[in-house]
Amino acid sequence: MKKNILPLLFVSLIVLQSCLNSKYETTPAVMVDPVILVNDTDTVTYLYNNDLSQYCTDTLLVGDTVMFTIIYDALGNNLTKAQIKYQPEYAYFSAVLSSQLEDVVTQTESDGGFVLDVATGYRAIVFQFKYVPLKAGLAKLEFRVESDSQYSPVEASILTPIALKSEEEDKGGESEE
């Protein structure tokens, strides 16, 4: 009886060891936190189009200060790079890096974008961003995440209609007296 259990135990250990050493091959994700703050008091709603990996927000006004959070998740793999592209003619955009993230991320800024190289061993990172619309139009923010998965990279974007403050007040029917 003991002779039958020993081979079964050996096979079980080999299977368990191979499971512990396996690498996940999942598609990484870029997600927007559901709370987008405008001027520290209001919130902005948005819709998500799964087919296009695209978020679309309500109209923002020129001069609003928008704070939002992006989650880069490798879903079991290791993050390698995160990219952000924006249109500098439409908005001021900056990453708000905490002191903890400054040790993890190397930020390279170029005209209209950031490249964030992520240190080895991180599977998810959460960034907070500050966004200030500068002129009316349709602004687009693009996000890209890369991991060591074979299904990498993944992209997502946010479309933001921007209006002048006077245009928005006219739509509301308010009159100045």
Tell me whether residue 67 is in a domain: yes
* Residue 3 resides in a domain: no
- Kindly state whether residue 9 falls inside one of the protein's structural domains: no
- Domain contains 52: yes
The rounded percent of the chain whose pLDDT value lies above 70 is: 69
Is-contact 107 37, C-beta < 8 A? no
pLDDT digits (tens, 9 = 90+) for 128-174: 888 888 888 888 888 888 888 887 788 888 888 888 876 445 455 44
> What CATH number is attached to the domain comprising 57?
2.60.40.740
Is residue 15 situated within a structural domain?
A: no
Q: Is 75 exposed, middle or buried (0-12, 13-18, 19+ CB in 10 A)?
A: middle
What is the mean predicted confidence (pLDDT) over 82-110? 74
Host domain of residue 85: 28-170
- Closest by CA to 165, choosing from 36, 5, 47, 39, is 39
| Number of domains making up the chain | 1
83 within some domain: yes
Please report whether residue 12 resides in a domain: no
